[in-house]
Amino acid sequence: MRTETKCIEAGYTPKNGESRLHPIVQSTTFKYDTSADMGKLFDLEASGYFYTRLQNPTNDATAAKIAALEGGTAAMLTSSGQAATFFSVFNLAGAGDHVIASSTIYGGSFNLFNVTMRRMGIDFTFVDPDCSDEELEAAFKPNTKAVFGETIANPALIVFDIERFAKAAHAHGVPLIIDNTFATPINCRPFEWGADIVTHSTTKYMDGHDAAVGGAIVDSGNFDWMAHADKFPGLCTPDDSYHGITYAERFGKEGAFITKATAQLMRDLGSIQAPMNSFLLNLGLESLAVRMQRHCENAQAVAEFLQADERVSYVTYPGLKGDKYYERAKKYMPNGTCGVISFGVKGGRAAAEEFMKNLKLAIIATHVADAHTCVLHPASSTHRQMTDEELIAGGVRPDMIRLSVGIENKDDIIEDIKQALESI
């Protein structure tokens, strides 16, 4: 199946007379005839469901669709994108370990790593995604367990050189984790460029309708944990908390990562996505390919309009000719990038606030990347916990306006922006 077809068909095939959509299995519990039957599930000897804190059939159908879209071998849903980011790293690294991350990742990921996970004893080095080979090489330590980057950074819109970072990670025997939220598998499939694990905030384009917070983790099935067993004891030595199972042995390259994250992290931390939300997410996925095409078309028109307007001081959009990341975007995302643009208006912070107040169609919202056009001033909202130096290192100018172009008629969006610019 091609990508557009997978959006509709992958993950669930009803049998004769069954419901076309996967039902919402709104049940915490599953019934068994004998204790022995249930015991097999607890020992991971049989697959099946016993408690929705770990797994639920509705979630698994939606996760299977996302795995198919990314071209991975296994996937799981989490309650939020934050939970997906946390699980993806914590499944590999613990106290005393070290992780390399791009300095331009989403502010929530940066805070999770730099504050909360440091408190858990995990050390992070943040590298400029355009750093020299020497700088990247110098970031690796003997206890490095993973490299983490974002396909298109939210909100800096820096396109990450996935292939380059994958090569560097693999040369050091560690996997590359990519947050593919903004590009979605419609526009970029990081596994094709060497990434090993992909994460998503499904809250954004995947759901696409402001309906449900959620996350997903997908495994490419390519990373050979056993070949680096000394680095990944959690995957390659018996798990005493799970009857001595060695995940990489029992489930192989294709299944070890997601099985461990489910059996261990989901069991202990309980960040499962509600089945109702995963049902809504599946509906969003059905139209994802069509919507992404429209988001990109609209954003391109808006970016070109902004670039030509003398009241606008700068425009950043990787689909725009002349953008610093135009060429790299063409390589990784030949069919379009995303619907998010950032720009500044002449007159700095005050003019930006005035502009935003005057918008009528575009709403001011923390959210990005869904059907409705919305705007945000990151420095005074989502990124306000960051210092000016951290903001600039993260590619966020203090006067930056983030505009998430929706799928309304593009002329309506442009007219709204025009009248707001005129009233500054």
Instruction: Please report, as ranges, the residues that interact with ligand PLP according to CB under 6 A.
Output: 80-82, 85, 106, 108-109, 150, 154, 179, 181-182, 201, 203-204, 213, 215
Residue number closest to ligand PLP, CB atom: 81
CB burial class (10 A; 0-12, 13-18, 19+) of residue 339? buried
Instruction: Considering the complex, state which of residue 234 and residue 378 has its C-beta at the smaller distance from ligand PLP.
Output: 378
Instruction: Considering the complex, state which of residue 78 and residue 259 has its C-beta at the smaller distance from ligand PLP.
Output: 78
Q: How far is the CB of 51 from ligand PLP (least distance, A)?
A: 23
- Residue 228's contacts (CB-CB under 8 Å, 6 or more residues apart) are 173, 174
Instruction: Considering the complex, state which of residue 203 and residue 300 has its C-beta at the smaller distance from ligand PLP.
Output: 203
Instruction: Considering the complex, state which of residue 216 and residue 312 has its C-beta at the smaller distance from ligand PLP.
Output: 216
CA distance 373 to 340: 10
Instruction: Considering the complex, state which of residue 215 and residue 344 has its C-beta at the smaller distance from ligand PLP.
Output: 215
The helix or strand, by DSSP H or E, that contains position 313, with its residue range, turns out to be strand 312-316
Q: How far is the CB of 303 from ligand PLP (least distance, A)?
A: 19
CA distance 309 to 304: 9
Residue 401, beta-bridge partner list: 343
Residue 388 contacts residue 424 (beta carbons within 8 Å)? no
CA distance 49 to 266: 14
Instruction: Considering the complex, state which of residue 80 and residue 300 has its C-beta at the smaller distance from ligand PLP.
Output: 80
Q: How far is the CB of 107 from ligand PLP (least distance, A)?
A: 9
Q: How far is the CB of 142 from ligand PLP (least distance, A)?
A: 29
Q: How far is the CB of 157 from ligand PLP (least distance, A)?
A: 11
Q: How far is the CB of 151 from ligand PLP (least distance, A)?
A: 9
Rounded CA Rg of the chain: 22
Three-class DSSP category at 249: helix
Q: How far is the CB of 341 from ligand PLP (least distance, A)?
A: 15
Q: How far is the CB of 130 from ligand PLP (least distance, A)?
A: 18
Tokens of residue 87, six digits: 């699980």
Q: How far is the CB of 203 from ligand PLP (least distance, A)?
A: 4
In single-letter form, the type of residue at position 172 comes to H
Q: What is the 3 state secondary structure string of 143-179?
A: CEEEEEEECECCCCCCECCHHHHHHHHHHCCCCEEEE
How many alpha carbons fall within 13 Å on the CB side of residue 159? Answer: 27
Q: How far is the CB of 332 from ligand PLP (least distance, A)?
A: 15
Instruction: Considering the complex, state which of residue 8 and residue 365 has its C-beta at the smaller distance from ligand PLP.
Output: 365
CA dihedral of residues 57, 61, 62, 65 (deg, nearest 10)? 160
Which of these, 222, 221, 184, lies nearest to 202 by C-alpha position? 184
Which of these, 319, 310, 196, lies nearest to 257 by C-alpha position? 196
- Residue 382's contacts (CB-CB under 8 Å, 6 or more residues apart) are 107, 108, 155, 366, 376
Using the 8-state DSSP alphabet, how is residue 9 labeled? H
CA distance 387 to 361: 31
